[in-house]
Structure 1
Amino acid sequence: MTWLQGFLRSVAHDRRWWWALLVINFLGSLYGFYWYWPQLSQTPPARWFIVPDSPGATFLFAIWLGLLLAGVDWRSPGMQLLGAVAFVSNMKYGLWTATVLPQAGMKYGWEFDFVHLSLSHLGMWVQGFLFARHYRPGPAAAAVALAWMVVQDTVDYRLWMTHPTLPYQAEFAFARGAAVALSLIWGLFLLGQSLSSRRHVHG
């Protein structure tokens, strides 16, 4: 096992890292909800649940970590479902931001927000991917997470247009395409991983 593999394993299994990530994700979620406030203030309250994509993802991950720290078995159906949605959301929205903002930066010029938001959101992808590998949700939970990602994209980019505020509206098609592609990539990744693990167990 390499040093990096050992370090990542410790992050996934050491309660001290869980506490650190819980605090980081909780505070990051609060900042994210604050950042989304201008958009939320112009959205009917009944639709607020679908608007803050990234802070919603980190908040779900923080809840999952809190339950894990409280001793809840990660293999329980509820934890698997919560974990599946949290993991896929972090992987999807982490890479979505780290794709859409740099693309806009290369076309229109870089801004400070493009840099720090892209880097911080890459951290979302890392934690989502890491914990998805060590705490693998079952097929049912993974399928629900994939379906939820598709629902979010449909609502965000077609039905209610509640997608994140874009740096340039001309990038709408690219942002929508990236969201749909990442939903399918990481949703199917989680589902494929769960099916592979199940075959290995029963093989």
Structure 2
Amino acid sequence: MNKYILLDKRLLIILFLINLGGTIYGYMWYENQLSNTEPLFFIFVPDSPTASLFFTVFLLFFIFGKHVPYIEALAMITLFKYGIWAVMMNLLTLFLDGTLNWQGYMLMVSHGAMAIQGLLYAPFYQLKLRHIVVASIWTLHNDVIDYVFEQMPVYSSLTIYMNEIGYFTFWLSIISIGLTYFLTVRNKKHHTLPR
């Protein structure tokens, strides 16, 4: 995609509103699980909405020509990770159950879009290694909370595969971190801000 299209303020505002709405919907989707969650773990339970929240904050600042590198690192790593994760979990549910409700297909489309948009804006993030390190600690710590303290998203038919899913999720985190490093710090270039 042409980088100037990605810098168009009209597109940025549309993306901001879509991500804001998706973030709010995502937190509402976790309402039942959060009602049965100890407050200590609240911040770690709604993984995908928090990822889209990071990207929403990035967009807000980017629209006004500002950068928030720690948020940008968190956004890129977690958008890709949880975008791919949700697509894979819904595909696995479809494989095991032989069917998937409309919400499952909606989640695959929306989360696939999450992963893609995080990558599309990689050239514009102003990341240094320290930003990725901090975001990586958050991401891997979240995996521990999810799969050691059992705060992962609830997919009823997948419950018996939590150990395998936890292992997959750990390596998905590593891939997401590596991809973020490769597409930002390693290929660092200066790009113009939106006009």
TM-score, length basis structure 1: 0.85
Q: Is the 8 A contact 2:123 2:184 kept in 1?
A: no
Question: What is the match of residue 190 of structure 1?
Answer: 180
Are 2:99 and 1:110 aligned?
yes
Q: Is the 8 A contact 1:88 1:186 kept in 2?
A: yes
- Unaligned segments of structure 1, at least 5 residues: none
Question: What is the match of residue 34 of structure 1?
Answer: 28
Give, in whole Å, the separation in 2 of the partners of 1:182 and 1:167. Answer: 21
Question: What is the match of residue 74 of structure 2?
Answer: 85
Q: Is the 8 A contact 1:101 1:167 kept in 2?
A: no
Question: What is the match of residue 123 of structure 1?
Answer: 113
Q: Is the 8 A contact 2:122 2:184 kept in 1?
A: no
> Greater helix share, 1 or 2?
1
RCO (CA 8 Å, sep 6+): is it higher in 1 or 2? 2
Count of residue pairs brought into register by the alignment: 188
Give, in whole Å, the separation in 2 of the partners of 1:11 and 1:156. Answer: 37
Give, in whole Å, the separation in 1 of the partners of 2:46 and 2:121. Answer: 22
Are 2:165 and 1:171 aligned?
no
Q: Report how far residue 136 of structure 1 moved.
A: 4.5
Amino acid at match of 1:13: L
Q: Report how far residue 135 of structure 1 moved.
A: 2.0
Please state whether the residue corresponding to 2:138 is helix, strand or coil.
helix
Are 2:59 and 1:65 aligned?
yes
Question: What is the match of residue 97 of structure 1?
Answer: 86
Amino acid at match of 1:14: D
Q: 1:136 to 1:185 in 2, by over 3 A?
A: farther
- Unaligned segments of structure 2, at least 5 residues: 191-195
Give, in whole Å, the separation in 2 of the partners of 1:133 and 1:165. Answer: 34
Q: Is the 8 A contact 2:122 2:183 kept in 1?
A: no
Q: Report how far residue 48 of structure 1 moved.
A: 0.8
Amino acid at match of 1:45: P
Give, in whole Å, the separation in 1 of the partners of 2:184 and 2:122. Answer: 10
Q: Is the 8 A contact 2:45 2:153 kept in 1?
A: yes
Are 2:56 and 1:54 aligned?
no
Q: 1:96 to 1:11 in 2, by over 3 A?
A: farther
Range that drifts further, 168-177 or 96-105: 168-177
Listed as ranges, the matches of 1:134-149 within 5 Å are: 134-149=124-139
Amino acid at match of 2:12: W
Give, in whole Å, the separation in 1 of the partners of 2:75 and 2:20. Answer: 13
Question: What is the match of residue 10 of structure 2?
Answer: 16
Q: Is the 8 A contact 1:92 1:186 kept in 2?
A: yes
Question: What is the match of residue 193 of structure 2?
Answer: none
TM-score, length basis structure 2: 0.89
Q: Share of identical aligned residues, percent?
A: 27
Are 2:143 and 1:153 aligned?
yes
Give, in whole Å, the separation in 1 of the partners of 2:170 and 2:5. Answer: 30
| Two-structure CA RMSD over aligned residues (Å) | 1.8
